[in-house]
Amino acid sequence: MSSRLNSTSQPNEFTLELPNGLTVQGKHWPASAEGEGLLPILALHGWLDNCATYNLLGPALHGDIYAVDLAGHGSSSHRPAGVRYHLVDNVDDVFAIADALGFEQFNLMGHSMGAGISTYVAAVAPERIHRLILIEGIGTHTSPAEQAPDVLAKAVKDMRRAHKINMPVYRELTDAVDARKGVVGAISADAATHLCERGLVDVPEGVTWSSDPRLKMGSAIRLTEDMVMAYLKKIAAPTLLIGAEQGFFPSIGPLKLRVEAVADLTLLTLPGNHHLHLEEDTCPPVINAINAFLLREVS
């Protein structure tokens, strides 16, 4: 099966007003002819990324692709002042987004942090998730219960200085691209440019990040590994997990038990870095794997 990496399909921008007051922005790539009959895909990006992380996958995958900027990222609104960014709060947002789009049942795709959020969405509402696609992520970072006081102490300290955090300013887009290349795993200038073009805003001195500085604050509470395993065991949807050979867990290793906890999971390890889906040279195998996975239901 060939990829459609060179597709000329252009996305439509959309805006959603959620009941919790957030304004969510995103990109919609319409379904291809091959995608007729497939349920739509809601796509979630990684930490400090935005929906442009799907600029290569969006036009190439079969089916309707709706990629969103999560709260505090990209063009979406920030959470109110004084409110923390709890990762699990994104679960509520995902259901609100799906409801606003009119999705009763849908396919869910996530990269990195977005994969972790997708894990929990699929676990708590298995009747709504038809297929689950995880790229470089399954579950989230955990801490042993005995570390909880230290985790909270750091988060409290971070919150007290949150109002003093200033985002760096870059004179040129290329300066921001150079900075972004090493933020979460090493990526190419081309991949970083996709993220920067959506993740920057103009200021008098140049450009700066649109993301909320509070995203860099420490978590106030983390799940334990036992809790993550409990979620994974609740996932009923057929699941595709794509790992990168130069990614965060190339040999799975400690994540082996997580992989085994999901009832119907296909694991693929493909060439590339943590953003293998956003790199021109490593994206085609990702496209082919996901399309084959989606078409299993109509073959």
pTM of the model: 0.94
Sign, Cα dihedral of 215, 221, 224, 229: negative
- In the chain, domain spans: 12-142+224-295
Check if the beta carbon of residue 223 is closer than 8 Å to that of residue 151: no
Burial (CB count <10 Å: 0-12, 13-18, 19+), residue 70: buried
Helix and strand numbers, DSSP H then E, in the chain: 8, 11
**What CATH topology corresponds to 12-142+224-295?**
Rossmann fold (3.40.50)
Single-letter residue type at 219:
S
Q: Residue 249 has what pLDDT?
A: 67
Q: What share of the chain is helix, strand, coil (3-state, %, to 5)?
A: 35, 20, 45
Residues of the chain with pLDDT under 70: 1-9, 184-185, 249-254, 297-299
Q: Which pLDDT score is estimated for 218?
A: 87
What are the pLDDT digits (tens) for 236-277?
A: 999 999 999 988 765 566 688 999 999 999 999 999 999 999
d(CA 244, CA 250): 6
Burial of 74 (0-12, 13-18, 19+ CB in 10 A): buried
The whole-angstrom separation of Cα 184 and Cα 113 is 11
What's the pLDDT at 9? Answer: 67
Q: What is the pLDDT of residues 38-70, one digit of tens each?
A: 999 999 999 999 999 999 999 999 989 999 999
Q: Exposed/middle/buried for 123, CB within 10 Å: 0-12, 13-18, 19+?
A: buried
* pLDDT at position 122: 98
- DSSP per-residue string spanning 5-33: TT--PPPEEEEEE-TTS-EEEEEEEPPPG
**Three-state DSSP class for residue 240:** strand
Residue 67 DSSP one-character state: E
Contact call for residues 81 and 89 (beta carbons, < 8 A): no
pLDDT at 164: 81
Whole-number Å distance between alpha carbons of 47 and 239: 21
CA distance linking residue 89 with residue 298, whole number of Å = 34
**Residue pair 30/64 in contact by the 8 Å Cβ criterion:** yes
